Structure 1
Amino acid sequence: MKNLLIITFFLFSYCGFGQLITKMPEIDDQTSYETDITKVEIRDNYTIISFSYQAAARKNNSYQFQFPYPNERQPASISSISFEPKSYLNGNGKRFKYIKSIGIPETPENMTVNPGQKYRFTVYFEKLEPGIETFNLIEGKNSSQSTYQYWNFYGVHINNPLVKKATPTAPNDNGEIAITIKGKLFDAKTNKPISGKVSYRFDYDAQKSDSVKTNNFGEYLFKIKPDSYTFIATAKGYEDGQESMDFSKSTKNQQFSQNIYLNPIVEKPIKKTETPKIEEPKIEPVEVLKESPITKIEDNKFRLNNFIFNLGEATFSPESTDQVDALLKMLKEDPKMKIRLEGHTDNVGDPDKNKRLSLERAYNVREYLISKGVAGNRIQFKGYGDTKPIADNNTEEGRKMNRRVEFVILE
């Protein structure tokens, strides 16, 4: 089985005609999950954001997952969308104005949409300055009195590095062109830097190779000549990663940044045999909060114990209310505490639907806490679908454990 290398690759000279593209950017939080940002392009004069919108049927069950239809006036069976020309981007303390929309009208004009049908549109803003790699998109302030519900996106992560002015092209001391590669090694699950080794070999001659070790912060750097290479990243306790790159057509000194994400090695469970009797593996102790149905699983990360979701449902069972109330008590005892709820599912069904379902589960817990008096800006939420199981999905008990909600204390 081929290992998957998750790799971020930025060209510090040119990408097409001076543009940087980020497809399906990571987003920390958003006001509607019926609308997705599918691509962000940084061009010479604009920041161009591509959207995908698909209305879903509403649900009215208690604590059921509900998102308002964006920019819609309120007839029950028909909804409409538009884009607010007063919207803006902000990043690094600066605002970047709205320019125009393509494929969607500007407010107060609107376009009627049908539930289940997907719509795509593009919005132009002023160009984000180099170095702004996280921004917010603010369309408007939502309130219960407003006739519109606005799309707001918080913490949109993009590829827009700070580019230093290129110095005149010059060969190195011995007259050869040099390619500089630098970056960091990260844990793909925690996003924390890790120590390891990055090696490369020439594609035309696998016997010729070299390697560098990272420092304690996961950083590495080396210089190579223009050629075609295969790069291998290794670290103790992690799966190896591999990627091929071709610099053979480079005609001048260039610098590339390459961050590499490695997946931790997951130990396979020992198969039970009748004879000889296998001693049960020792379970590492975990710290359980005293008199609380919450388990600490790592620094600042906790799991709601015995938190029950039925298969394919986002509404938690009444017997799980005690677990949420324990979290509610923590939040009320520390009014400055902020958290991120993380929803998970088993692997039954379509992975995309599981991702959505996990978002719904985290969202429903958030709505319950808000209904008990916790401010909404203290609670973020994310959904991981079936990508992070904690038990065997081949058994009903394991799948039940994987249908869960965890939370991380942010501050």
Structure 2
Amino acid sequence: MKKLLLTITFIYFSLLSFSQSIEFEKDNFPGKKDEMKVARKQLDIGTEFYLQGRKEFDDFKKSYMSEHRYCPVSHYDYQKAGYQNFRDGLSPLLTAQAFNPNNARLNYMLGFISFITDPTTAQTLKYFETAYKLDPLAEPDMAFWLAWSYHLNSRWDDAIKYYQIYLQAGKKNAMETEDVTKKIAECNSGKKYSANPERVFVDNLGSNINSSFPEYGPSISADEETIIFTARRDNSTGAKRDENDNGYYEDVYSSVKLNGKWQPSKQLSKNVNTENHDAAAGLSSDGSKLYVYRHSGKDGGDLYETVLFGADWEPPVHMNKYINTKYHESSVSLSFDGKRLYFVSDKESGLGDRDIYYSDMDVKGEWGVSKNIGPVVNTKYGEEAVFMHPDGVTLFFSSKGFNTMGGYDIFKTTLTNGVWSAPENLGYPINGPDDDVFFVVSGSGSRAYFASSKTGGFGEKDIYKITFLGPEKHPLLNTQDQLMAMAANPVSNLKVENAVEVASAKLTILKGVVTDAKTNQPLEASIDLIDNDKNIVLATFKSNSSSGKYLVTLPSGKNYGIAVKRDGYLFHSENFNIPDNAAFQEFTKDVALKRIEIGSTIVLRNIFFDFDKATIRPESANELERLIKLLNDNPTLKIELGSHTDSKGSDDYNMKLSDSRSKSVVDYLIGKGISTARLVAKGYGETKPIDTNETDDGRQNNRRTEFKILEK
């Protein structure tokens, strides 16, 4: 430690001996009296604006420290305090600098203004480097801003060096010492993660999504067919600019994917976008519910919910008192079944600046009292941008705490038996020294979407896609694996030693279109998701009233029943028994609902029997209750219950088994009050296959119970 202090002291006083700052004095510019006079006047004008802006900035910092009990961690924490004065002072200061580029304080002021507007640019760093080289004592915090600029440009060792110089050059209060010590730790994390980059490709989503204006806050449906995001474009509703930063007001935009390509993005209608700020805060995994952030000025900012009805979104509804408070609520994520809502708030009961909370839906469909997710996830520095993956157990969020590389980094935590795991940094290049927020992952877990201010983009912020490559593999692969794991160093030539497992992706996506079986017209229908083992309805979804499209996510580890229902039609059922270790899969299942008329037949896919017996298993209860409701709602119906087998076993045995099973179903219905006169039991054995008997899947399809309408 003593050796380090001696080194820092040597560097510091060595730099003092090389101060070369040139002041705006006539003796320094012989023969340029008039030019110097003009430059000096511009310097005075610019300095006045700078000082006014700096006072606003310092007052904001003082207030922030008083409220939070720590220094602003991210440059975004400063909320561009003093921005307007800094902006007004920029032009005259640049005029003065064009005349005299070698004044330390002038370069410092330009560096500071540049830091407020765009801290990661090379120009910001150049101003501070020049100022420090000319006179490191020109401003007492010169080393700090130079260090932070190095930090934001991933020059980790340089940043550490100047943070240490700043830390040793004069007395600091406890919060300032904590801040610099934290930033040094962030640089050490940055060195560690950037030396071992994750295997990913990062691609800009292109001009159909991004523009010369900022785009950020993406949300996607689980199948990656819909993206919703926020943009500040010149065609914003009302075309107004925010006086705080001169940017256009936020609006919400969307795009859909056709043939694997994102289509040109469109503004959502005036149902959603107003003349004020409207930002996308979250999207349900099926793409049918959207959460919007609005700030009315009466509170810290609230959350609203809107539902896609046909081709348009309904007017957003203000969420209840358990979600919205007088404080700032932002960033929403809905569980796969729609029963739990995760969100971010800075209300006073939190553990830190902003915390992640959750609320469960009650039996009336209302959100209940919210609860803090707890200290394993929430830190005193604040969390943001929560996203619960459709697998139901993997939570992604941004945090300024833990082992970040600077500002907000993206972390993940996994829920096991009600306990959250220690958050894991997703590493470089997913995270970097600047703020990394609003990270959403596809249902497959193989891709993610986020916003970043990367060099070479279309605007200040663009939306990017990350493709996770996984560990390196040997050549004996299937085609998809080859595409996902061929490159050894996809991001850079740095050594690759580890691969991130982003999400478990142990889920199945079921999607399709619901139509009328005769007319092929799209239908709005209710879709029940049932846990067959527990005989409970986990969630109810709806197909879109305009397109008939639906999407349901099924986390692995359950025997699911799916029931598609609409008044005037026979219900349609499907069964998905998904093992706990099942990997990601996606099925398209179009459903053609049949009207209630004589001759209509449906398969009851969620009626189960004990092996080789006619005993109805308990998990059949939900399917049978749907059939009972159909018969009670239509009291004149007379139906046939037909049972079928595959071709294994003798013809005589299969006929007897199927006959016994059909009678078991009829007996069950009679026991529930359905008249015997309305029911006919019929065993068909193996005589009416609907699939091949040469495969397991085919035989499973042939083993079925059907009902047919005989009289109406």
Q: For the superposition of Structure 1 and Structure 2, which TM-score range results when normalised by the shorter chain?
A: under 0.3
TM-score by length of 1: 0.27
More strand by share: 1
Q: Which has the larger radius of gyration?
A: 2
TM-score by length of 2: 0.18
The structure with the largest helix share of the pair is 2
Q: Which has the higher contact order (CA 8 A, sep 6+)?
A: 1
